[in-house]
Structure 1
Amino acid sequence: MTDPNPEQPVEPTELQHTPTATAQGPSRVAILIAEALGTFLLVLGGVGSALLAANFGASDNGTSLGIGFVGVSLAFGLTVVAGAYAFGPISGGHFNPAVTIGLATAGRFPWKDTGGYIAAQIVGGLVATSLLALIGSSNPGWFDAAHAGGFASNGFGELSPGGFGILGAIVVEVLFTAIFLLIILGVTHPTRGNPAFAGLVIGLTLTLIHLVTIPVDNTSVNPARSIAAAVFGGVDPLAQVWVFIVFPIVGAVLAGLLHRTLLDRTRR
């Protein structure tokens, strides 16, 4: 991991480097703002598409103008691609507390900087859902229905789109967050990665994860996304949100340890 060289353009790839605030590079404030903006974009686009567009125009005869699961999955992936290329050169483009912790576990990000990143990510996510709630408040009927439906929160049991229980949610969050981190760590590796395409690969991976797991627990793999939605989802989503904080982090830590000990040959 090296600091961005101001004399050489840095490829806009998520997690490629550990930005350091110096006189020649972005300030610490700019780095944290970039993380907040990237997470804001992810939550606004992903959760916003689930709330506003997924079931738009649905009728009793089965027709709908909505984008459905596929559209929501693409929305999450596209926001990561856009954020990686827009804000990745400034902050590294984590946009996810599990990613930050997984990178630190793998030795690719300093532990001392994790607290600031996570705080910025949570703030960015909360601003996004607050603005979605503000938009929804202009249509009281819509807002009441969105709140009653959990505001696109993650959940299990009665809150699972497909009725899956807590075990299914735990396995999904650990397994798919670990897969997500292994892809990130591989594609952004300083010697073996492909910087030009890393942001695209990461975004498509997140799309794939959503395509598989939305029916199980509405897909988290990102505690900031889960917290942001649960705040407006009501008591039940808030009571379950701990699962979507703890187990994505567990998956990320496992992936970081696996990559650091078995896959990162540069450390041998």
Structure 2
Amino acid sequence: MADGIESQLSAMEKGNLPMSISTNPKIHLAQKMLAELIGTYCVIFAGCGSVAVNKIYGGTITFPGVCVTWGLIVMAMIYTVGHISSAHFNPAVTISLSFLGLFPYKEVGFYILSQLLGSILASGTLALIMNVNSDSFFGTAPVGSTLQSFAVEIVITFILMFVISGASNDDRAVKKHGGIAVGMTIMLNVFVGG
């Protein structure tokens, strides 16, 4: 047994093992759901929080700062809980990966429930700690037509799913860099899509 641990440590030092080694390779669905809930909570809290702070306090963060915030929080959460739940944080990612055969259909509903609950809790926390009133609007309003906005959403969603599928789910990918690739894609998509 000691030889096994020593060989794993040696391989880890050489960079030949994944970023984390679990002593229990079987992760329960409840753990995955909790990881998705917490990860989604953090993503929404930081990302939407940066938008709200920027709007409430007169552009203190700026639009590029909001973009960077979204990219960094997604990257941080991928590295924090990705080894537990694969770090979807978005029903579109969960559904797409299940259609591609990269995620079991039977867990889709549980993941979406966790993601929705994490989002609601983060939104509630932001509403509680910030000066939000009924006139507050922190969303983005389309600058073009509905068709143009729909086209932008299709393109940036395709780019995101393309990067997630290639950088994080392909067996040939260097998965330890997947969080950087996905986080930077989120940042660039926010720059383009608002």
The answer to whether the 8 A contact 2:18-2:176 is kept is: no
- Provide the identity percentage: 31
Gaps of 5+ in 2: 1-7
Q: Is 1:153 matched up with 2:139?
A: yes
- Give a deviation string over 1:3-50, Cα, whole Å, max 9, x none: xxxx896437xxxxxxxxxx7422211110000111101100000000
Q: Secondary structure at the match of 1:193?
A: coil
1:92 CA displacement: 0.6
Q: Quick one: distance in 2 between partners of 1:190 and 1:172? A: 26
Give every structure 1 segment of 4 or more consecutive aligned residues whose post-TM-superposition deviation is greater than 3 Å: 7-12, 55-58
Greater fraction helix = 2
Q: How does 1:1-268 map to 2 (within 5 A)?
A: 10-11=18-19, 24-52=25-53, 54-55=54-55, 57-58=57-58, 66-136=60-130, 142-144=131-133, 147-150=134-137, 152-154=138-140, 159-160=141-142, 163-214=143-194
Deviations 1:97-127 (A, max 9, x none): 0011111111111112111101100100110
> Could you say what secondary structure the match of 2:169 adopts?
coil
Using the alignment, how far apart are the partners of 1:24 and 1:192 within structure 2? 21
- 1:176-223 Cα deviation digits (max 9, x unpaired): 101100011011234221111100110000000001111xxxxxxxxx
Q: Compute the displacement of 1:168 (Å).
A: 2.0
Q: TM-score, normalised by structure 2?
A: 0.84
| TM-score, normalising length: structure 1 | 0.62
Instruction: Answer yes or no: is the 8 Å Cα contact 1:10–1:89 preserved in 2.
Output: no
The corresponding residue for 2:4 is none
- CA RMSD after TM alignment: 1.9
Aligned length: 177
Structure 1 unmatched runs, 5+: 1-6, 13-22, 59-63, 137-141, 215-268
